[in-house]
Amino acid sequence: MIPRSAAIETRILVVSNNIFRRELLCFQLDEAGYRVYEACDAADAQELINTVPIHILILDTHLAHSETVLAAARRASSNTALIVITDAIPTLPLRMPLPAHDCSTLTWPYEQATLLRTVQHRVPVAATLH
């Protein structure tokens, strides 16, 4: 677990059109003390990105127009950390190619400890930027 003050300073945007996945991620991150925002589609995500400085973007690779969300986040801050959610057994084709670098991957289904470790790995870089 990270210090509460560092968690509170870290703003995370969770973007997924899968309500179960999105709500679970938001709940787990909120319980860990992070400031969490959620979006169900690319339009909602872009609106949030334009109004709230985001440190970490958690993006479902099956989201339609996910590449535009990533581009908007990069325009807002080139330092926004990226975590992509993929499936262990893909049932649908990916809507976006996975970035070759500067990206962490979380495979669904995941353990809560894995989620928090992955986010914590991105916090030292992200939380000092805004």
> How many structural domains comprise the chain?
1
Q: Lowest mean pLDDT of 27-31, 70-74, 106-110, name the range.
A: 70-74
**Beta-strand runs (E) in the chain:** 11-15, 35-39, 56-60, 81-87, 104-108
* pLDDT for the residue numbered 7: 52
**Interval 35-66: pLDDT, tens:** 999 999 999 999 999 999 999 999 988 888 77
pTM of the model: 0.81
- Residues of the domain holding 85: 4-126
- 76 vs 124 pLDDT, higher one: 76
**Interval 76-85: pLDDT, tens:** 887 888 898 8
By C-alpha distance, which of 16, 9, 4 is closest to 41? 16
Mean pLDDT score, 17-39 = 96
**Residue 44's CATH number:** 3.40.50.2300
Mean pLDDT value across the chain: 81
Please say if the pLDDT value at position 2 is more than 80: no
